[in-house]
Chains A and B, each alone.
Chain A
Amino acid sequence: MAQRVFVTGIGIICAIGKNAGEALSSLQAARSGISHITILDTVHRGELPAGEIKMTNEQLAALAGVTDMEMQTRTSLLGLIAAGEALESACIDPKNNDFRTGVISASTVGGMDKTEINFRNYHLGPPYNNFILTHDCGDSTEKIAVQLGFRDMVSTISTACSSSANSIMFAARLIKHGILDRALAGGTDALSKFTLNGFNTLMILDKQPCRPFDKSRVGLNLGEGAAYLVLESEKALGNRIPLAELTGYANANDAYHQTASSPDGYGPYLSMSQALQASGLHPGEISYINAHGTGTDNNDLTEGIAIEKIFGNNIPPISSTKPYTGHTLGAAGAVEAVISILSINHQTIFPNLHYREKMDELSFEPVREVLKGKELRHVLSNSFGFGGNDSTLILSSC
């Protein structure tokens, strides 16, 4: 159980770039990916902005190296692209028989993007009814495993907006238990009418670009994307140089309400403090917090209260990177883990865009400018979800 878990590869596609290099450029230039919706077919175009990837499914398929579109959802295409990049960046061959490999993914809507187009036409037969079988959240996971050659295990997690933080945590535990040596861990979620309308009924979508931790914040912007990490045991790592080490993680439940967080942020408090405990770090050793920071009234307040409770008067630099990517739901934990690793590797904290005025209830303000040349030893990344599913990851430099 004392096994260490290293990150050797990262891959990402989201509104600010179709790979880690593009995402990094956008982050360094403080360039948001929030825009009017032009790809998703919805009546809310022009009304609700989102972190939409400006590529059609056909363009995504070309990028993913997929020729047969018959059974491909946008969710699986995004997943294939990010997973392929992660694998390439890790320089490993998953077919190497010396190591047990698996794909541990996450999604909240699975193949909903195709279900919502086709489900009233299933009775017409092919090609509509091909998408009956791509609805499952596990569909994209299996496509990734088969295309990239991961064999020994597939698993998919869905805990709303914390899904892929949990898939990273589960993958790490599988490695620590010696069940896997190498795992591709992350998540994928395409923008869909289902989620856009769903969050709209909750009245927590901002019609402007979101502004987490701002006094005037009114809600979030949805996004879409996929991100994966290649996690490896010490043995599988050998003498290669990792990008980062996953030093801590925790999962707790707020157990308060299906959608609202407890007033004192107890779940977030538990997940952060338990992740610190797991890593053996003191709060003072955290160099930067990549907050969940959705921009909703409720989240930012309760997350902020929990952060204050743990860090007291010594709060590290904080930013939410959702104003760049939008809230990518099941992919968010992995998207932000990749951004945290980019922060560590490039010694840069990316600012909390659109922030203007301090919240009355909190003592701290988020980072407002690009901060370069900071040695980031340990980064804490939060992901909180409906149903009180709260998770925290701690990534450390190597």
Chain B
Amino acid sequence: MEAYIRGIGNISPQATFDNGVFLEEIREYRSARLQAIEPDYKQYIKPIQLRRMSRLLRMGVTSAGICLHDAGIEKPGAIITGTGLGMMEETEKFLNGIFDNGERLLNPTAFIQSTHNTVGAHIAVMLNCNHYNLTYVHGPVSFENALLDSLMWLAEKPDDKVLTGGVEELTESHFIITDSIHFWKKGGISNLDLLKDKNPGTIAGEGAAFFLLSKQEDPGNYAIIKGLSTRFNPGKDHIAVRYTEEFLASHNLGMDDIDLMLLGLNGDPVSDETYRPLLQHLEGKTPGAYFKHLCGEHYLASSFALWLAARIVKSQAIPAAVMLNPGQAPGKINRILIYNHYQNIHHSLMLVTSC
């Protein structure tokens, strides 16, 4: 199963929503919380619709709109969304209302917009799109699930175009709550020094990335998604190198065929240990890159990685800030392999190639 990426839209802690530029300036953060750089939503959404929309909903529908515009598509054949925690802002608002008002006089809007399918459903209403519509909510593989469904859908209906993407927000209170259980690094660490810091924890992020997938050749295509794999709870004996080699072998490829390996390194020593054998294996052969210093760690971070890979393959340019060893940038970039894992429980691989 494979598909072309025909359009993209990405709102992230970097200036990524403008498809006309590609990480020309990298935003530096001096805290463990990276917040999305948002466009002026009034340019994308009518005021009567905008007034009720939470921040994540605005991010989601705008990113989807940018993606569809990029692809020149008005109505996709399917809308398949992933979100880990869903609509946290509205969920917290309604929960607080229950506590503060003793279960009385609550506002319906917060409840209605707290359901996990809010973004996917809103896109359908805005596009008047009656087709297949699904929302995956399985934490760190929400995007991989959505992508797998999209590839299956295109295998079933090769003439369709599928809008797929991932949305995740980090609210102030959820940052504080997860900080209390030691998710995030302390002090004013710079995201650009993420891998230099050896203290536990990582940096938090958020974002909304959408992709228009199709089976049709088109000069506007960015890249091809050649393969996708997930692995759940493989245990302590899991070896990243073997998993990667098996995946590549299933595509008749070896490690040498990969021009760039994009890794989900997040600065947490325990988490990054998983990638170490792979890094050793690649050393001197395949250039390595990383991305979570740009988008932060979150359940949908792999959607940012796919966006990055698509932009690199299309532009044949690698922003220096993503290279593990800036001197090692490859010449021609035909194949990028993305390896991400979350707390060694969920592992995923995505193979992205040039068209």
Whether the complex brings A and B within 8 Å at their CB atoms is answered yes
Contacts from A to B (Cβ < 8 Å): 1, 42-44, 107-108, 110, 115-116, 119-120, 122-123, 125, 129, 132-133, 135-138, 141-142, 145-146, 151-160, 166, 170, 173-174, 177, 179, 193-194, 197-202, 251-259, 266-267, 270, 385-389
Candidate in A120, A123, A197, A267 with the most chain B CB atoms within 10 angstroms: A197
Partner of B232, one of A133, A153, A197, A258: A153
Given A255-B125, A388-B125, residue A42 in contact with residue B95 (CB < 8 A): no
Query: A138–B86 Cα gap in the complex (Å)?
Result: 12
Given A177-B155, A388-B125, A388-B133, residue A201 in contact with residue B106 (CB < 8 A): yes
Given A120-B99, A129-B181, A386-B117, residue A258 in contact with residue B108 (CB < 8 A): no
Partner of B117, one of A122, A155, A387: A387
Interface CB pairs A-B, < 8 A, 26: A119-B177, A137-B116, A137-B137, A138-B137, A138-B141, A142-B232, A142-B233, A146-B233, A153-B232, A156-B137, A158-B137, A159-B117, A170-B134, A170-B149, A194-B98, A198-B112, A201-B108, A201-B111, A202-B111, A251-B134, A252-B131, A253-B121, A253-B133, A258-B121, A270-B130, A389-B121
Chain B residues within 8 Å of A115, by CB: 95
Candidate in A177, A202, A258 with the most chain B CB atoms within 10 angstroms: A258
User: Does B230 sit within 8 A of A, measured CB to CB?
Assistant: yes
User: Does B211 sit within 8 A of A, measured CB to CB?
Assistant: no
| Contacting pair A155 B138 (CB below 8 A) | yes
Chain B nearest CB: distance from A365 CB in Å? 29
Chain B nearest CB: distance from A272 CB in Å? 13
User: Does B303 sit within 8 A of A, measured CB to CB?
Assistant: no
Partner of A138, one of B99, B121, B122, B138: B138
Chain A residues within 8 Å of B130, by CB: 252-255, 266-267, 270
Chain B nearest CB: distance from A185 CB in Å? 14
Q: A156-B138, A160-B115, A200-B106 are in contact. List 12 more A-B contacts (CB 8 A).
A: A1-B155, A122-B177, A123-B180, A141-B138, A158-B136, A159-B120, A177-B1, A201-B107, A258-B125, A267-B130, A387-B133, A389-B133
| Contacting pair A387 B86 (CB below 8 A) | no
Given A255-B125, A259-B112, residue A155 in contact with residue B103 (CB < 8 A): no
| Contacting pair B111 A255 (CB below 8 A) | no
| Contacting pair B95 A43 (CB below 8 A) | no
| Contacting pair A122 B180 (CB below 8 A) | yes
Chain A nearest CB: distance from B61 CB in Å? 12
Query: A257–B52 Cα gap in the complex (Å)?
Result: 13
Chain B nearest CB: distance from A175 CB in Å? 11
| Contacting pair A159 B124 (CB below 8 A) | no
Query: A138–B84 Cα gap in the complex (Å)?
Result: 8
Given A1-B156, A138-B139, A387-B117, residue A43 in contact with residue B102 (CB < 8 A): yes
| Contacting pair B103 A44 (CB below 8 A) | yes
| Contacting pair B232 A152 (CB below 8 A) | yes
User: Does B164 sit within 8 A of A, measured CB to CB?
Assistant: no
User: Does B317 sit within 8 A of A, measured CB to CB?
Assistant: no
Query: A267–B121 Cα gap in the complex (Å)?
Result: 12
Chain A residues within 8 Å of B10, by CB: none
Task: Give B145's nearest chain A residue, CB to CB.
Answer: A155
Partner of A193, one of B1, B103, B233: B103
| Contacting pair B104 A43 (CB below 8 A) | yes
| Contacting pair A151 B232 (CB below 8 A) | yes
User: Does B239 sit within 8 A of A, measured CB to CB?
Assistant: no
| Contacting pair B134 A116 (CB below 8 A) | no
Task: Give B232's nearest chain A residue, CB to CB.
Answer: A154
| Contacting pair A159 B95 (CB below 8 A) | no
| Contacting pair A177 B152 (CB below 8 A) | yes
Candidate in B91, B113, B133, B136 with the most chain A CB atoms within 10 angstroms: B133
| Contacting pair A197 B124 (CB below 8 A) | no
| Contacting pair A145 B232 (CB below 8 A) | yes
